[in-house]
Amino acid sequence: MDLSETMNRITGDDAIIWRQGHLYLLDQRKLPGEVVFLELNTAAETARAITDMVVRGAPAIGITAAYGVVLAGAMAFRSSADQWQAAIQADLEQLRRSRPTAVNLFWALKRMGALLEGLPRGADPTDALLREAIAIHKEDIRANRDMGELGASLIEAGSGVITHCNAGALATGGYGTALGVIRSAHKRGLIREVFADETRPWLQGARLTAWELLQDGIPVTLLADGAAAHRMAQGGIDWIVVGSDRIAANGDVANKIGTYSLAVAAKHHGVKVMVAAPTSTIDMELASGSEIPIEVRGEEELLGCGGRRVAANGAGVWNPVFDVTPADLVDAIVTERGVATSPNRKKIEKMMANRPESP
C-alpha cells in the first residue's frame, strides 16, 4: 500500500492503520527523524513489533494485539477451515507473551477471545474479529477525548506541567491519555508551560512527546530525567501528568521507570500528580502494586545509545522499564468514567462501576 500521502501529514493519531487486510504500524523507534510504517501480515509479526517497541504504550499495545488476532484468525481459517479454533491458539499465546506489564494487552486479548468462543466452527472469523478490533480502537479514542476533558477540568489557568515518557496519541488509539489532558487544557488556555522528561533509555519524551506536542503547536521544553526535581524547586510547576501501563485495585500505578521518583519529588515540592488512563488499564484482580509484574529488558538498552556503546566494559545492568507509584502519592486518577481524587480501593471500585452511556 502506498502511504506516501499519509506520511506527508502524519500525526500520532495515525500510528495504527488497518487497510485492505493488512496492519500498518508507525515505527516509533525511528521518530522523529524518519516516518516509517511497517506492514504486518501475521500474529507473529505483530507480537514481535510489540516486543521490539515498534509500538508502545499500554492502550496502543492492546489495540495492536486485537488487530493481531484478526490476522491470526484469517491465517488459521486459510490453513484449516474446519479446525481454525485450535490452529489460532499458538498465535494467541505468542501475543500474550509479547509484553508482561501492560494490562491492556491481556484485556484486549480476553475480549477478542470471548468473541472467538462464540463464533461457529467452519465459518470464516475474519470479519467478526475485525469489527471487534475496530470497535476497541474507536472506543479508546473516544475514551481519551473524555479523559482529556475531565483531566483538563482539574487544571487551573496559568499552570505549568511536567510529563514523563509518552502517553499521547502514539501510545493510544489516538489523542492520548496524559497528552490528551494536556491537549484539552491547552485548547482551553489553561497551560502556561509544558516540560517533558527525556525518559531514558528509550527517550520517549525527547523523541515522541516533544514531536507530538510540536505537531499540535504546543511549545515544550525538554528536561533530563534527573532535572525534574530541581525544576520543581524553582516554582511554577503545578501538575505532573502521566499515563499508566497498569493500575492496581487500590490505586497503585505502574508506569515508565522514573515515574515513582518524579512523584516522590512532587510530594516534597507540593506539586500534584495526575494519572490519566482508560479503565482497561485498571486491573481489579491485583490488590496492590506489589503484585504488578515489572518487565526487565536487555542490558544493551543501558550499555549503549544510538547503536554506540557508551558504558564502561564490565559494568553490570539492571534495567526495569516500569516502576510502581503508591496511591498515596497520586492526587487524581482520571479515566473515561470519571475522576478518583486521593485514590483508594473504594474509590476505584466506585469508578469502575460507573459505566457511561454509549453515544
- pLDDT for res 122: 83
- pLDDT for res 357: 44
- pLDDT for res 82: 83
- Farthest-apart Cα atoms in the chain, separation: 67
Per-residue pLDDT, averaged over 292-315, amounts to 93
Q: Per the annotation, does 204 bind a ligand? A: yes
87 touches 125 (CB < 8 A): no
Q: Per the annotation, does 188 bind a ligand? A: no
Three-class SS of residue 332? strand
Where are the chain's structural domains?
Answer: 4-142, 149-353
pLDDT digits (tens, 9 = 90+) for 246-282: 999 999 999 999 999 999 999 999 999 999 999 999 9
Confidence of residue 79 (pLDDT cuts 50, 70, 90): confident
Confidence of residue 358 (pLDDT cuts 50, 70, 90): very low
| pLDDT of 84 strictly over 60 | yes
245 is catalytic: yes
Q: Per the annotation, does 99 bind a ligand? A: yes
User: Would you mind telling me the total number of residues written for the chain in this entry?
Assistant: 359
Q: How far apart are the C-alpha atoms of 252 and 345, rounded to whole Å? A: 9
Eight-class DSSP state of 225: G
User: What are residue 227's phi and psi, to 5 degrees?
Assistant: -90, -10
Residue 315's region, left for phi above 0, alpha for psi from -120 to 50, else beta, is beta
Catalytic residue among 238, 245, 252, 331: 245
**All three cell numbers of 47:** 507480537
pLDDT digits (tens, 9 = 90+) for 228-253: 999 999 999 999 999 999 999 999 99
CA dihedral 263, 104, 51, 325 (to 10 degrees): 10
The CATH number assigned to the domain with range 149-353 reads: 3.40.50.10470
How large a percentage of the chain has pLDDT more than 70?
A: 96
Domains 4-142 and 149-353 share a fold: no
| pLDDT of 121 strictly over 90 | no
Q: Per the annotation, does 56 bind a ligand? A: yes
pTM for this one? 0.91
Q: In angstroms, how far is the first alpha carbon of the chain from the final one? A: 33
Q: Per the annotation, does 256 bind a ligand? A: yes
Q: Per the annotation, does 246 bind a ligand? A: no
**All three cell numbers of 58:** 499500554
User: What are residue 294's phi and psi, to 5 degrees?
Assistant: -105, 120
Pairing of strands 239-242, 338-341: unpaired
The CATH number assigned to the domain with range 4-142 reads: 1.20.120.420
